[in-house]
Structure 1
């Protein structure tokens, strides 16, 4: 049974969610304030890069998938899914302004409508948000009671660059609900996907998302701390983590030591959980350490390049990789950013290359040079810093002969096997 779904927010999560639900046979309307995104989606052109997204948009835009700036579709929908941003406040807590605004608009659109409707939060929000903000806002602005409205919290677990695969083949589906009827509607929505469904309370579902991301971030910072120790002892940290990760109690994922984590989720979510804990009188020492280690880690790249090259003033430093990870153009909290900032501060001549993220990074660093190719970025470079694990970088070999000799090649991500390459943790 197909449903009519309204997605509030056409950003990364909202667009991928809407596109995938349309691909599964549902009618989807994405509500977005950015007219450029609206036009792009309706033309079947993805406003962001995500593998497989363009094909889904071309297939479904104009038939099962639509974008608009109007909330009119909400009244005709079975489900409204809130996918707006929750950016960090200066103190690290989550800014819930867009969540509240979306809930208000949904409520207004449902006024004088008696059709049963489920409001679902997919945005990452602190425990209690759905129950204490979304639910009362929708009820107050719609004038409707609990018999005709249901509320769910359905967190997303999408990896950028692999989000389509993750949506269609999830490890699990978490549904927090206010009542059984709302839960059943959400279960029906996911009925064609083969994954275990975790049914829980609204607040537990919200906490599951923060817990999952914070645990993964902790594994990364732990691996980096072990890597820093191994570096001093002359031990290959990748051998160490391979041996440790084969223990089924530990697992092999997220144990790759390197320059640290970035992106739109891990830094923000760990900081938000710290803020939440401290608001109830708990000091999360481990989570504070996770952030502290991650902030220090990319600066170790600068320690290495100074050790190998000396004074960086006037030196030509090639930075390979600007996106926070491969297969995306997202630079949010990329570990390249603090590295480039420090190189500029020390007077280095920075030249950068990334297959997808140069346009985005140019908005942040307009004064550095952006190369058209890998060969251009390496030519006459005094040093090369590899910051993103793009597969094409792993095949580099003869290209390093274009650098000043002997080449100084430093890795923040372990992807190249050459004797002259030195890693941040190995």
Structure 2
């Protein structure tokens, strides 16, 4: 079986990482699986880069930049992800796709595949699978919906746009997708139950068949290290309770929930049951330390971590990983933390409950409740049986998200679709 995955970038971002991990899991089972990307940042020779000449690279950069910056002319908040999908590259004659048994789409924005060019893939008469790593496929342009329900009927009057109306750019994009999808047969994979539910509510794709198959993770890389030794690597005392979180984005990037984490930490620091001297905060992923907010605890800034092995040790050093996200599909950081046997505290939203089981391997706080987020951290801080939570965190990943578990589910789907093909 030959499977070709399509993604805009080579591992840059959550969707790219998920695509790479699935590809590796399939290859480990002897499947002829490969990845085609629109633009590669790295030097992975196993990835087919469509921007492999100076001319193609210039065209790709133009399309990527045009898509990103033209969107900013329409969108109110600069950090709001929104795709116009005006540009794209035709792939219907690419030999790798023509020779494939299954074509698997992932994240295809930023000038890779416009709706019109996407519809051309139907001419190849191959089973097409599309994993929805965010909401863009069934909206008029947004990737994060911010509780908007316009996609239930028809996008338009978009609250994200500077110039909003019944026939605004979101409505025009929605109509383009409607036309393209009517000419394209594809099967949807939702990484989480939340994403599947969202698709079922959409006017564009609500009647399509959906399989819920999570992303996977390298459980031989993201694994537990001895906590005291991991803390020593970060020059943190073994008796400290380490709270870890990803980079702190701008407060304007509302779906990241930064303000709720800051409030929760302040609430935690004010509680008499909590010994502030025993707590240390570790932040990774942000190089801009100067613009960091004030924290009530001693804080270590790790910056960007490029090596997964070192990242796994950082997760292992933590006693709790906090994700304050308000809308997320199946965040890699949660899966990585649990794989390293570190319990997760997060809001009960998106696909997070698919991974975090309340009071079993972490804590699910009430949505947008800074107080409950603080309650979760305090619960873990005072918990005398953290070892059981840590073991359950690791076990939950091995049982439900390990590479063979997830690749087997994809193979069953591929085989089912191939069996249904006209002979």
TM range (shorter): 0.3 to 0.5
TM-score by length of 1: 0.33
Flag the structure with more relative contact order, 1 or 2, with Cα contacts below 8 A and sequence separation at least 6: 2
Greater radius of gyration (CA)? 1
TM-score by length of 2: 0.33
